[in-house]
Structures are given as structure tokens and as C-alpha cells.
Amino acid sequence: MAECNIHIAIIEPSHMIYEGLSTILLKGNPHGRILRFENLDELKEYRDKNCLEVIIVNPAIIMGDPGALGSVKKHFRKAQWVGLVAAVFSDSLLQLFDARIQITDTPGNINSTIARLTEENCICADDSPVEELSDREKEVLIELVHGLSNKEIADKLHISTHTVISHRKNISQKAGIKSLSGLTIYAITQNIISIEDIQSGG
């Protein structure tokens, strides 16, 4: 958790509460990023919607129009919604949230609530997909770098063109690189080909 750089949005009108809460959250998540929004409309216009893992809202903001929360929620598929409870609210209102933080909670409580919510899709977890290419993918990459077409690679490796295309897709996904010149450099850094290979191969 300590290394996690989660993005947390806060909608809380009180400056004091906002500052206090963001200080506590940053202590628990030194690499976290806190963004403050004034209301749901502002939040809805935030560009990187999928980057927000947690959205903390003072329920008073939505009390007048609880339905509005539902329509905003649709835009933030990955986010967990947390009610920041500093007054008495109806159960039906509090039910709209995935979790609740009480104004009387200790910093430890608050951060463990957030940790519990973000555990599953925490990007710093060590289960990130393997990026190393399989032997077959390496073979395909070598031919690609030498300028062969999908069809030529298929013939040479005795596989279907369809399979070549799917290998190419996986290679690009794993390397994060699509262009041929980018893949060439990648192949060299991974010791899949040597510089002499491409110079002599043309």
C-alpha cells in the first residue's frame, strides 16, 4: 500500500475538512494524488476518468438530488465511492456509497478503508502481466524487423497468417510499441537481434 500511487478525488465544501483529509490520505499514500472538485458537474468533466480509483463525497452535496450520483457514477467505471459522513444522513442516502468514512475516524481507520477499496485493482501490486516475449513471438519479431510481410513470415514459420497477426498484436501489447522502427530498437535492447543483423539484412 505504501508504494501505491492511487488517485483520489474529493468533493467536500469545507476547506478545513478537505485539507485535513487530504493530509491524512497523503500520509497513508505518499505517492497518491488528490484532486479536489467543487461538485459533481466539475467531476464529470474530469478528463482522465479511468484514473480515479476512489471518489470521496460529502453526502450533503447530493442530498437535494440523490439521483444525480447514479448518472455520474456511470462515467467512472473503476472508481469506488466513499461517503464522507460529518452529519446525520438517511440510510438510503448512505447506501449509495461503496464505503463510508466518519468524521470521527482515526487516520489509521481512514487509510485502511481506502486500502481495502483499492486492494483489488491496485496498479502497484506485483501481479502485473509478464512482458517478456514467448519464443514464438521472438521469432516473429526477428522476421518483422527484417522486413518480411505477414504472409512471408507465415510461410517461413509454417503458421497461418492469422496466427502471425495475433503474435504481432501480442508483441506490440507487451512491448508497448507498434511502429516497426520502434520494435527494431526494442528487439536490440532485448538482445533478440543484434545491430549487425539489421545492418547486413538491409
Partner 1 sequence: MYLTKKTYVKEQMKLAGLLFENPYLMLMMQHFGLNFVVQDKSVEQVCRENDINKDVFTAIANLYNGFQELDSVHFTRTDIPSVISFLKNSHQYYKDEKYPEIKALIDEIARVNSTPEIKLIEQFFDEYFHEVIDHLEYEDEVAFPYFEKLAEEGESKQLADYSARVYRDHHTDIESKIMELKKLLLKHIPLHQDKTLRRRLIISLFELEYDLTIHYAIEEDLLIPLINHFEKTPDRG
Return residues touching partner 1 (CB under 8 A). Answer: 33-38, 42, 45-48, 175-179, 181-182, 184-186, 188-190, 195
Nearest distance from C-beta of residue 150 to partner 1, angstroms: 20
Helical (H) or strand (E) element with 197:
helix 195-201
Nearest distance from C-beta of residue 28 to partner 1, angstroms: 15
Integer angstrom CA distances of residue 175 from 69, 78, 188, 195: 39, 25, 12, 19
Classify burial at 83, counting beta carbons within 10 Å of its beta carbon; exposed 0-12, middle 13-18, buried 19 or more.
buried
**In sequence order, what are the beta bridge partners of 8?**
34, 54
Nearest distance from C-beta of residue 174 to partner 1, angstroms: 11
Nearest distance from C-beta of residue 176 to partner 1, angstroms: 5
Helical (H) or strand (E) element with 41:
helix 40-44
For partner 1, give the closer residue by CB, 28 or 154: 28
Whole-number Å distance between alpha carbons of 112 and 20:
16
For partner 1, give the closer residue by CB, 156 or 178: 178
For partner 1, give the closer residue by CB, 38 or 65: 38
Nearest distance from C-beta of residue 159 to partner 1, angstroms: 26
Look up residue 55 and give its DSSP letter: E
Half-sphere exposure of 39 (CA within 13 A, CB side): 9
For partner 1, give the closer residue by CB, 73 or 100: 73
